Amino acid sequence: MKQGATKPEMQTAAETRRGQERQEPSKPLAGTTASGQTILNPEKLHELVAVAAYYRAEQRQFAPGLELDDWLAAEAETLKQLAGRTKYTTS
């Protein structure tokens, strides 16, 4: 891993795929309540944001000090993309 990429969620795509092969089957991104409301799986949402934040950090060559900015931007981008697909809640 490159310098500055010390967080566990910062993995290469190959490392992520290898890790998924050893883990239990992936959980769905969302489910539906009896009232028809879509609920996001928080674990899956965290995974999507972590991957997006990793790629943001990679683009800036893992320069230290901007990890929170990467995470927040990735979170906003992910939620915006999901909102375009469906109405959702996280609780």
Span 42-52, pLDDT tens digits: 999 999 999 99
Number of domains in the chain: 1
Indicate whether 36 belongs to any domain.
no
For the ranges 40-44, 73-77, 84-88, the lowest mean pLDDT is seen at 84-88
- Bigger pLDDT: 87 vs 69: 69
pLDDT in tens, 3-55: 555 555 555 555 555 555 555 556 677 777 677 667 778 999 999 999 999 99
**pLDDT the model gives residue 53:** 97
- HSE on the CB side for 20, CA within 13 Å? 13
Question: Residue 47 is part of which domain span?
Answer: 42-91
Indicate whether 68 belongs to any domain.
yes
- Using an 8 Å Cβ cutoff, are 29 and 40 in contact? yes
pTM of the model: 0.59
